């Protein structure tokens, strides 16, 4: 695991300090690679790379980057792991296309593949998580590429006449050409989704390379259009059109084989390795498969909460005890969050408002004390149908969808008009009527949805929205073109639940979950790996009929059966909790003074990004207990905290 940065400029503007600039850019992301550093510069071509290395495979100097190819044509700066790189070496050797290997790093393997097969073939053949920058000295062309699901980040964009690129925005900020102007369209999207979705970033002119794509940039080219080499939407459509035709037991055996192979491949490491264990289905399955293939106890790590309603540590402890892992646990309270919050803006580079970023970082910090690599259960929900909205959404829609739109709007408005105590009194009878348990704050949210939805797709769009009409909150705000709003670009799947799952995998997974995990782990120089994101596991998951994912009002049916082979169901069978924190209570209590200072009306007016009125109204309702709006307010707070730490340019 590593980090890189660089720039492409006119040779006429290059100076003798190009390597120094590249070094400063890479130094900003030293946490991604504390073990080694390097720079490379070709002033005549106007290109410079800086690199930081976290040594995982081949700890020797043979893995040093930026790395030139044996024939000198290519230079590579690379971040990630290619799990099948030894297989790729064997293929090259069988074809007589392998160089005289200098070491056993996957960086060297990737370079050899590109030299022998070209970019497209090499990307399709590689299994892993990665982002890289490649300079072709013969064609004077820069190639940027990102892995299939977006596990590893890659930012790029023109700032004046200089193209900047790198693993994190802080590296780009170190270049003299960087312009730190905020993109107000991206800010509106942040308020709507609690993250800035690709292809945007919080800065004007800088974007994220979409997952599964690559770009080739030659001198003078300003219009950069990513080329896909793999498409999740196509994989989903193909899987649904060509479903698995075996029995349930055969599907179970195939899932164990594919996921077991993925876990085995991702346990390849020259440094200590462990697992992040929450005690839920996904992380428990990964840990069980790791332990089944290991001769010694796997090291496992979990975070617990002082508030029992959010605490899963005892479940993780029970799973660890059953599997015989070497388990470590740490408890989190509001005081821990207060200490961590000032670090979040620098850690995430752009405002990021998934509040589980707090415990996620702390569990990474805990794991890093003992290991350098940790496997996680991320992506099990999107592939195997784990989120509550996949089965509760259709249930709600069956109960209210028959109402004429005016009646739905009137009922929703009435629910929103009631004070929180009254809504709480109504929650019980409503829950019995529709067969869904909904606390008062969820009833308020349902009321908001009912005013605007006319279909299951509308319901999904509303469920992934925190601030409705977020553009009205932002001074000079707008909602730029994006996938959630452009339904012509949604995967062509007849089942609305399948569309939800695919959309989550295309948006929420890479831009929220994987971004959160990458920044939280790399901030402490820990590499994380997600076996569920193996391309064969993804393809198999999409070939399964929905009945093998959602059954009996629960998700991940087949995955649960796989876990039954390793862990007693009594240790796992409970409602899904997620990895959230008691944010609503903390904002009314220990975080209230901090939040109040960031949300003062005078401050909001002075900074000029937000309309203070709706924010103050929402904040006052929240602290008075007339609704729970913690997750909505967190996006504003994270932007404010980020803005406070921005360096003047």
pLDDT in tens, 352-372: 999 999 889 999 999 999 999
pLDDT in tens, 418-461: 555 555 555 555 544 544 444 445 555 555 666 677 888 998 99
**pLDDT band at residue 329 using 50, 70 and 90 as cut-offs:** very high
Count of other CB atoms within 10 angstroms of residue 475:
14
| Token reading at 603 | 């401050």
**pLDDT band at residue 2 using 50, 70 and 90 as cut-offs:** confident
**Using CA atoms, how far apart are residues 107 and 87, in angstroms rounded to an integer?**
14
Contact status, residue 533 vs residue 152, Cβ threshold 8 Å:
no
Cβ-based neighbours of 239, under 8 Å, separated by 6 or more: 539, 540, 541, 542, 543, 544
Residues assigned a catalytic role: 2
How far are the Cα atoms of 150, 195, 435, 502, 514 from residue 499, in angstroms, in the given order? 19, 21, 24, 5, 20
The DSSP annotation for 260-288 comes to HHHHHHHT--SS-EEEE--SSHHHHHHHH
| 3-class DSSP string for 542-554 | HHCCHHHCCECCE
Burial 272-284 (b: 16+ CB within 10 A, else e): ebbbbbbbbbbbb
Region of residue 435 (phi > 0: left; psi between -120 and 50: alpha; otherwise: beta): left
Q: What is the mean pLDDT of residues 377-402?
A: 88
pLDDT at 311: 65
Asked whether the whole model's pTM tops 0.85, one would answer yes
**pLDDT band at residue 411 using 50, 70 and 90 as cut-offs:** low
The H or E element spanning position 79 is strand 74-82
Nearest to 308 by CA among 629, 572, 585: 585
**pLDDT band at residue 414 using 50, 70 and 90 as cut-offs:** low
The H or E element spanning position 639 is helix 630-644
**Using CA atoms, how far apart are residues 240 and 232, in angstroms rounded to an integer?**
12
pLDDT in tens, 463-514: 999 998 999 999 999 999 999 999 999 999 999 999 999 999 999 999 999 9
Whether residue 29 has pLDDT greater than 50: yes
The DSSP annotation for 379-448 comes to THHHHHT-STHHHHHHHHHHHHTTS-HHHHHHHHHHHHHS-HHHHHHHHHHHHHHHT----HHHHHHHHH
Q: What is the mean pLDDT of residues 100-116?
A: 94
**Using CA atoms, how far apart are residues 130 and 133, in angstroms rounded to an integer?**
10
Using DSSP's 3-state secondary structure scheme, residue 466 falls into coil
**Using CA atoms, how far apart are residues 414 and 541, in angstroms rounded to an integer?**
41
Contact status, residue 19 vs residue 6, Cβ threshold 8 Å:
no
**pLDDT band at residue 271 using 50, 70 and 90 as cut-offs:** confident
| Token reading at 21 | 């600039």
Contact status, residue 19 vs residue 48, Cβ threshold 8 Å:
yes
């Amino acid at each position: 695991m590593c980090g890189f940065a660089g720039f492409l400029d006119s040779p006429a503007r290059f100076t003798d300090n190009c390597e120094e600039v590249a070094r400063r850019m890479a130094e900003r992301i030293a946490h991604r690679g504390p073990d080694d550093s390097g720079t490379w510069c070709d002033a005549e071509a106007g290109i410079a790379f800086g690199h930081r290395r976290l040594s995982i495979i081949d700890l020797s100097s043979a893995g040093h980057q930026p790395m030139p190819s044996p024939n000198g044509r290519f230079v590579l700066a690379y971040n990630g792991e290619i799990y099948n790189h030894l297989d790729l070496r064997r293929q090259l050797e069988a074809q007589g296309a392998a160089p005289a290997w200098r070491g056993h790093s996957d960086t060297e393997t990737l370079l050899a593949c590109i030299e022998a097969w070209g970019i497209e073939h090499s990307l399709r053949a590689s299994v892993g998580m990665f982002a890289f920058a490649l300079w072709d000295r013969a064609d004077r062309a820069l190639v940027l590429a990102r892995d299939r699901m977006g596990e590893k980040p890659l930012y790029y964009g023109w700032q004046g006449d200089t193209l900047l690129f790198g693993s994190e925005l802080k590296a780009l900020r170190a270049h003299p050409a960087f312009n730190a102007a905020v993109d107000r369209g991206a800010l509106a999207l942040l308020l709507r989704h609690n993250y800035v979705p690709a292809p945007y970033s919080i800065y004007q002119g800088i974007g994220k390379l979409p997952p599964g794509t690559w770009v080739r940039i030659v001198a003078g080219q300003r219009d950069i259009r990513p080329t896909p080499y793999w498409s999740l939407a196509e994989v989903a459509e193909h899987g649904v059109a060509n479903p698995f035709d075996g029995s349930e037991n055969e599907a179970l055996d195939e899932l164990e084989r594919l996921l077991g192979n993925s876990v085995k491949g991702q346990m390849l490491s020259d440094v200590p390795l462990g697992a992040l264990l929450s005690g839920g289905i996904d992380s428990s399955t990964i840990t069980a498969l790791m332990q089944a293939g290991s001769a010694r106890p796997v090291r496992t790590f979990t975070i617990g909460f002082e508030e029992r309603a959010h605490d899963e540590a005892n479940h993780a402890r029970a799973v660890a005890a059953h599997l015989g892992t070497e388990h470590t646990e740490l408890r989190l309270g509001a005081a821990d969050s207060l200490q961590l919050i000032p670090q979040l803006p620098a850690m995430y580079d752009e405002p990021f408002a998934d509040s589980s970023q707090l415990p996620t970082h702390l569990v990474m910090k805990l794991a890093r004390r003992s290991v350098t690599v940790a496997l996680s259960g991320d992506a099990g929900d999107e592939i195997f149908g784990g989120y509550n909205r996949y089965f509760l959404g259709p249930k709600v829609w069956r109960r209210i969808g028959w109402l004429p739109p005016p009646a739905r709007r009137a009922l929703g408005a009435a629910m929103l008009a009631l004070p929180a105590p009254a809504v709480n009194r109504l929650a019980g009878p409503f829950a019995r009527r529709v067969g869904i348990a909904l606390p008062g704050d969820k009833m308020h949210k349902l009321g908001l949805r009912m005013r605007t939805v006319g279909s299951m797709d509308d319901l999904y769009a509303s469920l992934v929205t925190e601030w409705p009409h977020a553009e009205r909150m932002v001074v000079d705000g707008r909602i730029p073109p994006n996938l959630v709003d452009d339904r012509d670009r949604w995967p062509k799947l007849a089942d609305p639940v399948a569309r939800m799952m695919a959309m989550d995998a295309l948006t929420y997974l890479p831009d929220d979950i994987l971004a959160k995990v990458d920044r939280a782990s790399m901030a402490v120089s820990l590499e994380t790996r997600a076996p569920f994101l193996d391309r064969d596991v993804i393809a198999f998951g999409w070939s399964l009929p929905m009945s093998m994912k959602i059954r009996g009002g629960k998700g991940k049916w087949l995955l649960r059966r796989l876990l039954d082979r390793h862990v007693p169901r009594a240790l796992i069978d409970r409602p899904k909790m997620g990895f959230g924190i008691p944010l609503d209570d903390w904002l009314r209590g220990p975080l209230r003074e901090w939040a109040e200072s960031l949300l003062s009306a005078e401050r909001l007016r002075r900074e000029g990004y937000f309309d203070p009125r709706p924010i103050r109204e929402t904040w006052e309702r929240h602290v008075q207990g007339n609704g729970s709006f913690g997750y909505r307010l967190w996006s504003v707070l994270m932007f404010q905290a980020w803005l406070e730490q921005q360096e003047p340019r």
